[in-house]
Amino acid sequence: MTTYDVVVIGAGPVGENVADRLVQGGLTAAIVERELVGGECSYWACMPTKALLRSGAALRAARQVPGAREAVTGDLDVAAVLRRRDSFASNWQDDGQVSWLESVGVPLYRGHGRIGADRVVEVTAADGTTTTLTARYAVVVATGSGALVPDIEGLREAAPWTSRETVAAKEVPARLAIIGGGVVASEMATAFSELGSSVTMLARDGVLHLQEPFVGEQVAESLRDKGVSVRVGAEAGSVKRNDDGTVSLTLTDGEQLDADELLVAIGRTPNTQDLGLETVGLKPGAWLTVDDTMRVLGEDGAPVGDGWLYAAGDVNRRVLLTHQGKYQARAVGDVIVARAKGEPADDGPWGRHAATADERAVPQVVFTDPEIASVGLTAAAAEAAGLRTRVVDYDLAATAGSSLHAEGYRGHARMVVDEDRKVIVGFTLVGPDVAEMLHAATIAVVGEVPLDRLWHAVPAFPTVSEVWLRLLEAYGR
Ligand X SMILES: NC(=O)c1ccc[n+]([C@@H]2O[C@H](COP(=O)([O-])OP(=O)(O)OC[C@H]3O[C@@H](n4cnc5c(N)ncnc54)[C@H](O)[C@@H]3O)[C@@H](O)[C@H]2O)c1
Interacting residue with ligand FAD among 35, 205, 235, 393 (CB under 6 A): 35
Our CB check for ligand FAD shows the closer of 12 and 432 to be 12
Rule CB under 6 A: is residue 374 a binding residue for ligand FAD?
A: no
Rule CB under 6 A: is residue 411 a binding residue for ligand FAD?
A: no
Q: Which 62-121 residues touch ligand FAD, going by CB under 6 A?
A: 112-113
Q: Tell me the residue type at 83.
A: R
Q: Tell me the residue type at 104.
A: V
Binding mask 4-33 for ligand FAD (x = CB under 6 A): -----xxxxxxx----------------xx
Q: How far is the CB of 261 from ligand X (least distance, A)?
A: 16
Binding mask 361-400 for ligand X (x = CB under 6 A): ---xxxx---------------------------------
Rule CB under 6 A: is residue 182 a binding residue for ligand X?
A: yes
Interacting residue with ligand FAD among 144, 180, 370, 459 (CB under 6 A): 144
Rule CB under 6 A: is residue 411 a binding residue for ligand X?
A: no
Rule CB under 6 A: is residue 324 a binding residue for ligand X?
A: no
**Alpha-carbon dihedral angle through residues 34, 39, 44, 49, given to the nearest 10 degrees:** 180
Rule CB under 6 A: is residue 313 a binding residue for ligand FAD?
A: yes
C-alpha 453: how far from chain center: 32
Q: How far is the CB of 214 from ligand X (least distance, A)?
A: 17
Interacting residue with ligand X among 26, 96, 105, 150 (CB under 6 A): 150
Rule CB under 6 A: is residue 322 a binding residue for ligand FAD?
A: yes
- How many other C-beta atoms are found inside a 10 Å radius of the C-beta of residue 308? 21
Q: Which does residue 185 bind out of ligand FAD, ligand X, none, counting CB within 5 to 8 angstroms by kind?
A: ligand X
Rule CB under 6 A: is residue 5 a binding residue for ligand X?
A: no
Our CB check for ligand X shows the closer of 172 and 183 to be 183
Binding mask 170-199 for ligand FAD (x = CB under 6 A): --------------x---------------
CA distance 142 to 336: 15
Rule CB under 6 A: is residue 189 a binding residue for ligand X?
A: no
Report helix, strand or coil for 109.
strand
Our CB check for ligand FAD shows the closer of 136 and 164 to be 164
Rule CB under 6 A: is residue 185 a binding residue for ligand X?
A: yes
What letter does residue 153 receive in the DSSP assignment? B
Percent helix, strand and coil across the chain, each rounded to 5?
35, 25, 40
Query: Taking contact as CB under 6 A, which single stretch among the options 19-27, 58-66, 70-78, 203-211 is the one that binds ligand X?
Result: 203-211
Our CB check for ligand FAD shows the closer of 239 and 294 to be 294
Cβ 436 vs Cβ 429: under 8 Å = no
Report helix, strand or coil for 457.
coil
Rule CB under 6 A: is residue 94 a binding residue for ligand X?
A: no
Q: Tell me the residue type at 282.
A: L
Residue 277 makes CB contacts below 8 A (sequence gap 6+) with 115, 283, 284, 286
CA distance 186 to 157: 25
CA distance 429 to 208: 14
CA distance 14 to 10: 8
CA angle, residues 52, 54, 59, in degrees to nearest 5:
115
What letter does residue 392 receive in the DSSP assignment? E
334 closest CA partner among 25, 36, 83, 76: 25
User: Given phi > 0 = left and psi -120 to 50 = alpha, else beta, which region is 254?
Assistant: left
Rule CB under 6 A: is residue 265 a binding residue for ligand X?
A: yes
Our CB check for ligand FAD shows the closer of 10 and 181 to be 10
Instruction: Name the pairing type of β-strands 268-270 and 145-147.
Output: antiparallel
Q: How far is the CB of 23 from ligand FAD (least distance, A)?
A: 17
Instruction: Name the pairing type of β-strands 130-141 and 120-124.
Output: antiparallel
324 closest CA partner among 368, 359, 373: 359
182 is in an annotated binding site: yes
Rule CB under 6 A: is residue 270 a binding residue for ligand X?
A: no
Our CB check for ligand X shows the closer of 45 and 472 to be 45
362 is in an annotated binding site: no
Rule CB under 6 A: is residue 435 a binding residue for ligand X?
A: no
Phi, psi (deg, nearest 5) at residue 362: -90, 120
What letter does residue 166 receive in the DSSP assignment? H
Rule CB under 6 A: is residue 115 a binding residue for ligand X?
A: no
Phi, psi (deg, nearest 5) at residue 326: -70, -30
Cβ 66 vs Cβ 147: under 8 Å = no
Rule CB under 6 A: is residue 432 a binding residue for ligand FAD?
A: no
Q: How far is the CB of 104 from ligand FAD (least distance, A)?
A: 16
CA distance 346 to 348: 6
Residues making up the annotated binding site are 50, 113, 143-145, 180-187, 267, 314
Chain contacts with ligand X (rule: CB under 6 A): 150, 179-185, 187, 204-205, 209, 235, 265-268, 320-321, 364-367
Chain contacts with ligand FAD (rule: CB under 6 A): 9-15, 32-35, 39-41, 45-46, 49-50, 112-113, 142-145, 163, 167, 184, 271, 275, 313-314, 320-323, 325
